[in-house]
Structure 1
Amino acid sequence: MGSGLAFWSPLLHLLLLLLLVMCAQGTGGRKMSETQLEATHNLMNPMDQRIHAHHSSSHMDHMDPSVMIFFTIKDLKVGKTMAVYFPKRDTSKSPRLLPRTEADSIPFSSEQLPQLLQLFSFSKDSPQAKAMGDTLRQCEMEPIKGETKFCPTSLESMLDFTHGILGSNTPFTVVATAHLRNSTTHFQNYTILNEPKEVFAPRMVACHTMPYPYAVFYCHSQASVNKVYKVELGGEDGDRVEAVAVCHFDTSDWSPNHASFSVLRIKPGTSPVCHFFPADNLVWVPTSTSV
């Protein structure tokens, strides 16, 4: 029972945030502070084929720790130890989720970035301006082959997109990574403690948080074979994580510059690529097929 509640908590948190914001007055929740930016600037969709490692060397010691989320399907076994990056963020400092009526009243376009920077009181050379521009460009890029994507700016629009992918009459639920112990360590070795459990889902929608003054997600679904797993991990410092992982079985259309290929030392299309999700990312799956 405790495990089930832990995996439901991100959805309950989002719903609570939505209710709080809908009751709030004014636009005070629209500001993105330096602290919020630091908490979100590494959250660009890790599975987007346009994102790649900051360093050209394939040696683990020279990798940006934030890309250390990838592994192979052969690693999904009890006792396997891997170096994994799990960002720890204070959700009280995260950008707020807006109700659809307010989110839809704000332009969401790179062409209107100058006006948006004025609206949010950011200078054009600020870190926030760069983060906003990167997010807008990511959301406006064409999907890769077999991918359906959308950047919802409200919970309602996220649920509408998920219904469109999974089926308008299909009940669905959300799974997300949960940290069972308070740990401040971002990057350490984790060991798989129990047999990983597959969340059998013929279709899934993954939603990744994006850096923006208010909550924006990069949601996508791929037509190729993907599998969702729940994996219990134990960290070197005593951290316990009920992690959600997704394995992508067809990477032939991914860019050779994708970070996973540098981390795993493989080439596109040669092996399934798996990755862990941070705690504030969501995976929507049909209720009838989840475990």
Structure 2
Amino acid sequence: MAFRPSQHNRTISAGLAAILLVTVASFLGRNAAAASTTRSRREMMQQTNAQSSDAWLLQMLAGMRSPLSKAESDRFAELYKKTGSVGDLCEAGKLYCDAKSFNLYYQNLLQFDGKKQEKDISVFFRETELLVGREISIEDPRLQSAALEKNRLQLAEFDTPSGSVGMSKYNYLNVAKMPERSFLPAELAQTLPFSSDSAVKVFQLDPSSILAQESAKTFQICQEGIHKDGTTELNGEAAACATSLEALQSLVRSPMLLGPHDAANVKALSTDERLHSGSSFRGKVVKVSLEASVEQRHAVCHNLMYPSAVYFCHYLQRTRVYTVMLQPLDAAGAQQRHLVRAIAMCHMDTTGWNPRHLAFQNLLTLPGHGEACHWVLQGSMTFVPTA
């Protein structure tokens, strides 16, 4: 289900970017005031560096805003209505339509040390690992992506066992560094068709290309997997997709995800970009904060592949969200100066998950036998209530 922004939310000036800017400003202000009286200058520097993920989130969203003016957007909309073509929209709108380069990207994504198997890549962990003073390792996001995608392809080869639908048909944990793309302007996103073959017809992609296939999978997640009421086949999940920045703004504020009360009071969380650097990370837990309990609603938005930016946002019941502050350690175990912030999500009930899911290979357990936690990494955003 592609989310349509309401009429009063079709300008982004006071929208999602403003939400995030206010969140960052108030967060920095509160902590700076406290730090000035209770912490040393070194601790202040650590805290400031740990908060850089907020700036990264703002920068990411700003970079995805369409470069098209209103007049240019209208011109492409009229061009499509008259000819069924979008002309040079890919270049003018900073979209991604290069099927050959995406094929290389995808092939590289699936390559890792041939001595390792998917189960050897640690993506999932237990909630008990989030303890102050504990040393933890976070796998290279590229290896996590490879393991998850290979597992998804394996799951697709088998019929889902009766009663085991969760986390099997779709993989929402795409932590790969996606090719950079901009959103479409809201009106243009509503004019151009969004269907299983729209990437082929609208953007003239080779239907046999991996980019076309991934784009069709995105539509499948956004349309075929989400019912009209916003629910999915996963038990207790509410979800929708946003195909424009304005739609993402409306979706984050939608009661469907965060409920009628919390939708008006949200803050954005993101993992520090230094954990996306393309290498494994080792650190010591110095602080763990529960951001959303199993009784609280939250929203997580994942970057899906399509020629233009598309985000899948969902809320899943019986899940906890944590902010974890980490003290980086070097290869010799020496502590580094700057703290790093990571967002962890723990699914407390895995009863309906496919028994072949990577989580159970990592944890050496079965569906329904304990929780499965993972880090919210590259290209994903988490929104939680502020009260």
Normalised by the length of structure 2, the TM-score is 0.60
Alpha-carbon distance in structure 1 between the residues aligned to 2:276 and 2:318: 36
Change (3 A) 1:209 1:23: same
Change (3 A) 1:15 1:125: closer
Residues 209 and 217 of structure 1 are in contact (CA less than 8 Å); yes or no, is this contact kept in structure 2?
Answer: yes
Match of 1:159 among 232, 239, 249: 249
1:229 CA displacement: 2.6
Q: How does 1:69-108 map to 2 (within 5 A)?
A: 69-77=123-131, 78-87=133-142, 93-108=179-194
1:208 CA displacement: 0.9
Change (3 A) 1:180 1:94: same
Match of 2:375, as an amino acid?
Answer: F
Alpha-carbon distance in structure 2 between the residues aligned to 1:232 and 1:38: 34
Q: Which residue of 1 aligns with 2:328?
A: 234
Q: Percent identity?
A: 22
Aligned residues: 267
1:10 CA displacement: 4.3
Match of 1:213, as an amino acid?
Answer: P
1 or 2 for the larger relative contact order (CA 8 Å, sep ≥6)? 1
Q: Which residue of 1 aligns with 2:216?
A: 133
Q: Deviations over 1:133-174 (max 9, x none)?
A: 222222222521111111111222223222222245622121
1:227 CA displacement: 2.8
Q: Which residue of 1 aligns with 2:273?
A: 179
Identify, as 1 or 2, the structure richer in strand. Answer: 1
Q: Deviations over 1:86-111 (max 9, x none)?
A: 249778x511122222222222222x
- SS of 2:97's equivalent in the other structure is coil
State whether structure 2 residue 59 is matched by structure 1 residue 16: no
Residues 231 and 245 of structure 1 are in contact (CA less than 8 Å); yes or no, is this contact kept in structure 2?
Answer: no
Alpha-carbon distance in structure 2 between the residues aligned to 1:263 and 1:228: 20
Alpha-carbon distance in structure 1 between the residues aligned to 2:327 and 2:69: 38
State whether structure 2 residue 96 is matched by structure 1 residue 31: yes
Q: Which residue of 2 aligns with 1:57?
A: none
Change (3 A) 1:64 1:225: closer
Structure 2 gaps of 5+ residues are 1-27, 29-47, 77-88, 143-174, 227-231
Match of 2:239 among 126, 143, 149: 149
1:231 CA displacement: 3.8
Q: Deviations over 1:46-104 (max 9, x none)?
A: xxxxxxx99xxxxx931177x6321110111233333523249778x511122222222
Residues 276 and 377 of structure 2 are in contact (CA less than 8 Å); yes or no, is this contact kept in structure 1?
Answer: no
Residues 354 and 367 of structure 2 are in contact (CA less than 8 Å); yes or no, is this contact kept in structure 1?
Answer: yes
Change (3 A) 1:205 1:182: closer
Q: Which residue of 1 aligns with 2:85?
A: none
Change (3 A) 1:97 1:232: farther
Identify, as 1 or 2, the structure richer in helix. Answer: 2
| Bigger Rg, which one | 2
Match of 1:63 among 107, 110, 118: 118
Change (3 A) 1:230 1:193: closer
Change (3 A) 1:181 1:175: closer
State whether structure 2 residue 60 is matched by structure 1 residue 6: no
Change (3 A) 1:208 1:102: same
Normalised by the length of structure 1, the TM-score is 0.77
Match of 1:13, as an amino acid?
Answer: Q
Change (3 A) 1:108 1:69: same
Alpha-carbon distance in structure 2 between the residues aligned to 1:159 and 1:266: 39
Q: Which residue of 1 aligns with 2:302?
A: 208
Of 270-279 and 190-199, more deviation after overlay is shown by 190-199
- SS of 2:67's equivalent in the other structure is helix
State whether structure 2 residue 195 is matched by structure 1 residue 120: no
Q: Which residue of 2 aligns with 1:267?
A: 366
Match of 1:230, as an amino acid?
Answer: V
